[in-house]
Amino acid sequence: MRLGIDRVRLARNGRLLGVLPHELLERAAATTVGEQRVERRGVLPLPAGPFLGRIEEPRQRRMSLRSVLVSVRTAGAVTGVQRAVSDPHPDRIEGYRIESELARGGMGIVYLARQTFPDRRVALKLLSPELAADPDFRERFIRESNAAASTEHPNIVPIYGAGEADGRLYLAMRYVQGADLGALIRGDGPLDPERAVAICSQVAAALDAAHARGLVHRDVKPGNVLIDEAGNAYLTDFGLIARNEVETGITKTGQFMGTTAYCAPEQIRGDEVDARTDVYSLGCVLFECLTGQPPFPRENEAATLYAHLQDTPTKPSARRASVPSSLDVVVRKAMAKRPDWRYRGAGEMASEARAAIGHPDVGHAPAARSRRVLAWGIGVAVVSLGLIIPLALPMTDDETKSTTPNDALALQHGLLAIDPLDGHIAKKLPGQIGIGGFGLPPSLVAGEGALWTTALSGPIRVDPSNGDVRELFNQCNGASLGVSLGTVWVVCGTDIHAVDPFTLDVRDVRWDGPAGGGFATALEEDRGTLWACFDSGSLARIDTLDEQATLVPDVQADLCSVGEGALWVVDRLLSTVTPVDLETGRTGTPIIIAGDIDAIDAGAGGVWLLDSGAGTVTRIDPQDHSVGGSIGIGEGATSITAAFGSTWITVPSARDLVRIDPLTRDVQRVDVNAAAIFAAPDRQTGWLWLVVRPPEDAG
């Protein structure tokens, strides 16, 4: 069954743990959140009860998402998103006479007001009465507003005062005549790259000033960037900032602070926030300036949160042809899932953005490093001395191009990470890891902040930052692994195990297993459901909430892949691919393929099949099921992976990685100087990880 994408956020002890498919919540609790859209600003009060409640001290370790679901189902308490403030506005607050309403959102209403002394017009923000009722929030709001008021910068809207009156918290700021950046984009459409970078550079300067004082904004978005009539940019709404020592995206009152379209993954998870949290949001703002849309336009806000946690944003240049591909690199780094992989500060991001469009820093910050950006099959933008030189690389269907070899980073055995944007190696983790068994390819999956693969003794957890290895359990060679709902799943033979990614506690899933026994050839995830196909041809559906597995009858699935809206199963004997409806489980008409099918992966706009013996790749159109012509890639390929808008094939005998452009069918060879036998995407870092074996063992 295909699970819907309506999700809500849940937390335990005040920590946000994830986003959940709506159907799972219906089974987990008595109440759910409907699909009605909410205001862009989300205030998520966490319900009280035996499970969900207000935090006293933050937990040191996040619970697995599945554990949250089970506890929620027991407690029977789920909450939704607080709606926007809708109370009528007063005529006067303290020393301010209200003239008109400017804007409203989930946290409060902004008015145009007249201050009695000194006599001036101000923007007056009144927060909702519920927030003022909490003494901890009230104290923090006034304290941090005063701290923000003392931060002076030309691109920060000055705060004139903050306090409490008539049971309402208020924030008085300079009134800027003009429009906010969001309104500007809605009215004029996407900005040209030069103007977008100029505005974001001013915002970055404001953020650097705040970060220097230990303040984190936590709500950088177009609506909080004001553009005056002269075109200058001002960052506002600093009354909701946080001290960066111990603050998280969830306040002590149990409320999520931020705007869903621009919030960083650590805010959603309830982890600590710092300057890099604002960098992520600024990356989202730059993306919207360039394309006219936020990076993850989804049908509801819960789905947007899920995308921030799991999905890779589209390249801005793919949304709008006039955006230079060099800015893709800036946005990708700013929006890395892990804070460690982002720019250290907003100014550093702005510096590289200016260099990317040919306007390096002058009197602002140290010049950006020169870097090479390879736009696959389209061109190369070389940033040098502030110049961007596009170099066309025309290619035919049969022609291949090689990137610069990574000679200095040769690896004999272990894991390699390459940057799919420029084809160069980003990380190497040597070791006896990534080993398959019983003639099966190795299994590798990224998720929950780690890499999960196999070693000689069994499945292991690999720390991607330093290569540290922890064994899950032993005596299991030839496992298939997957990650779903905060749990790592291991199929060893026909046995299924659920592993807590933090404690590594193992739970066994009871089921009868396929009649023919065998080993799992793939473990595919579809938002709460796992599909396991076995070399005996059996197909199993694993409910990750109930931890139950069932066999799917009348389906031959020697290989399988989830993507492009369906489960695709392979009958290797008949050389057919059959689509399976993820919602109903019904099978479609088998698609006959000319040649063998040694591997399959669905994504990047197609269903991709590898015939290793013939040295070809074939694409099935997922919409009309038509079969395209074969693409020659050479003999000796061992795996195929559709990720990051391309299709990747490992060819260990050639010590390179083949990349196919799905639109042009152009073929490129990336010299990784290693015998890579398997590839897996890491959507948290935007890297493609490769399993490397010695050449004599890779065939």
pLDDT above 70 covers what percent of the chain? 74
Examine residue 582 and state whether it is found in any structural domain, yes or no.
yes
Q: Which range among 175-179, 300-304, 398-402, 415-419 shows the weakest confidence by mean pLDDT?
A: 398-402
Higher-scoring residue by pLDDT: 559, 80:
559
β pairing state of 387-392 and 529-534: unpaired
Examine residue 60 and state whether it is found in any structural domain, yes or no.
yes
Examine residue 471 and state whether it is found in any structural domain, yes or no.
yes
Sign of the CA dihedral with 431 first, then 433, 434, and 437 last: positive
> With contact defined as beta carbons under 8 Å apart, do 294 and 222 qualify?
no
The last residue of one of the domains, among 174, 201, 227, is 174
> With contact defined as beta carbons under 8 Å apart, do 653 and 675 qualify?
yes
pLDDT above 90 covers what percent of the chain? 37
Active site residue 6: no
Q: How far apart are CA 26 and CA 20, in angstroms?
A: 10
600-637 burial code (b ≥16 CB/10 A, e <16): bbbbbbbbbbbbbebbbbbbbebeeeebeebbebbebb
> With contact defined as beta carbons under 8 Å apart, do 263 and 253 qualify?
no
Same domain, 57 and 197: no
Q: Which range among 211-225, 232-246, 623-637 shows the weakest confidence by mean pLDDT?
A: 232-246
Same domain, 291 and 210: yes
Same domain, 145 and 41: no
Q: The CATH number of the domain where 444 resides is what? A: 2.40.10
With a CB cutoff of 8 Å and minimum separation 6, the contacts of 73 are 27, 28, 29
Q: In the structure encoding, which two tokens stand for residue 34, read together?
A: 């409907």
CA dihedral 581, 587, 592, 593 (to 10 degrees): 40
**Which residue in this structure is represented by tokens 């899933």?**
509
Q: Is 348 helix (H, G, I), strand (E, B) or coil?
A: helix
> With contact defined as beta carbons under 8 Å apart, do 199 and 289 qualify?
yes
**Residue 165 pLDDT level (bands cut at 50, 70, 90):** confident
Same domain, 621 and 663: yes
> With contact defined as beta carbons under 8 Å apart, do 92 and 149 qualify?
no
Average pLDDT, the chain: 76
Examine residue 185 and state whether it is found in any structural domain, yes or no.
no
Question: What pLDDT is attached to residue 410?
Answer: 56
Same domain, 264 and 335: yes
Q: In the structure encoding, which two tokens stand for residue 608, read together?
A: 């991709």
Sign of the CA dihedral with 630 first, then 633, 637, and 639 last: negative
Residue 84, number of CB atoms within 10 A of its CB: 17
Q: Is 488 helix (H, G, I), strand (E, B) or coil?
A: strand
Same domain, 561 and 672: yes
Question: What pLDDT is attached to residue 590?
Answer: 97
Residue 340 half-sphere exposure toward CB, CA atoms < 13 A: 6
Question: What pLDDT is attached to residue 141?
Answer: 77
Interval 177-192: pLDDT, tens: 888 999 999 999 999 9
Q: Which range among 222-236, 314-328, 465-479 shows the weakest confidence by mean pLDDT?
A: 465-479
Residue 50, number of CB atoms within 10 A of its CB: 10
The helix (H) or strand (E) run that includes residue 69 is helix 65-75
Interval 655-690: pLDDT, tens: 889 999 998 999 999 988 888 999 999 987 889 999
Q: How far apart are CA 610 and CA 620, in angstroms?
A: 12
Question: What pLDDT is attached to residue 64?
Answer: 44
Interval 107-163: pLDDT, tens: 778 889 998 888 888 888 888 787 777 777 777 777 767 766 767 788 988 888 888
Point out the catalytic residue in the list 6, 219, 271, 598: 219
User: What would the mean pLDDT of 511-518 be, rounded to a whole number?
Assistant: 80
Concatenating the DSSP letter of every residue in 557-570 gives -SEEEEETTEEEEE
Q: The CATH number of the domain where 228 resides is what? A: 1.10.510.10
> With contact defined as beta carbons under 8 Å apart, do 184 and 226 qualify?
no
Domain that holds residue 38: 7-75
Interval 258-286: pLDDT, tens: 689 999 999 998 889 999 999 999 999 99
Same domain, 214 and 333: yes
> With contact defined as beta carbons under 8 Å apart, do 489 and 456 qualify?
no
Interval 70-116: pLDDT, tens: 433 333 333 333 334 445 567 888 788 988 888 776 677 888 999 88
Q: How far apart are CA 679 and CA 434, in angstroms?
A: 10
Q: Is 140 helix (H, G, I), strand (E, B) or coil?
A: helix
Examine residue 186 and state whether it is found in any structural domain, yes or no.
no
Interval 635-659: pLDDT, tens: 899 999 999 889 999 999 888 899 9
Same domain, 120 and 44: no
Q: Number of helices and strands (H, E) in the chain? A: 13, 45
Higher-scoring residue by pLDDT: 315, 142:
315
Examine residue 575 and state whether it is found in any structural domain, yes or no.
yes
Side by side, the strands of the sheet bearing 548-551 are: 520-525, 529-534, 539-543, 548-551
β pairing state of 687-692 and 15-21: unpaired
Check pLDDT > 80 for residue 611.
Answer: yes
Q: Which range among 182-186, 241-245, 352-356, 571-575 shows the weakest confidence by mean pLDDT?
A: 241-245
Sign of the CA dihedral with 203 first, then 206, 211, and 212 last: positive
> With contact defined as beta carbons under 8 Å apart, do 208 and 345 qualify?
yes
Same domain, 573 and 683: yes
Q: How far apart are CA 111 and CA 371, in angstroms?
A: 46
Check pLDDT > 50 for residue 392.
Answer: no
Compute CA 688 distance to the chain's CA centroid, rounded to the nearest angstrom: 14
Same domain, 595 and 575: yes
Same domain, 437 and 335: no
Q: Which of 14, 44, 43, 49 is nearest to 30 (CA)?
A: 49
Q: The CATH number of the domain where 582 resides is what? A: 2.130.10.10
Same domain, 321 and 222: yes
What total of structural domains would you count in the chain? Answer: 5
Q: How far apart are CA 134 and CA 254, in angstroms?
A: 11
Residue 470, number of CB atoms within 10 A of its CB: 10
β pairing state of 631-632 and 539-543: unpaired
Q: How far apart are CA 559 and CA 542, in angstroms?
A: 16
Examine residue 499 and state whether it is found in any structural domain, yes or no.
yes
**Which residue in this structure is represented by tokens 């070899």?**
405
Examine residue 546 and state whether it is found in any structural domain, yes or no.
no
Q: How far apart are CA 80 and CA 666, in angstroms?
A: 47
User: What would the mean pLDDT of 295-304 be, rounded to a whole number?
Assistant: 88
Interval 41-53: pLDDT, tens: 333 333 333 222 2
Residue 629 phi/psi, 5° resolution? -70, 160
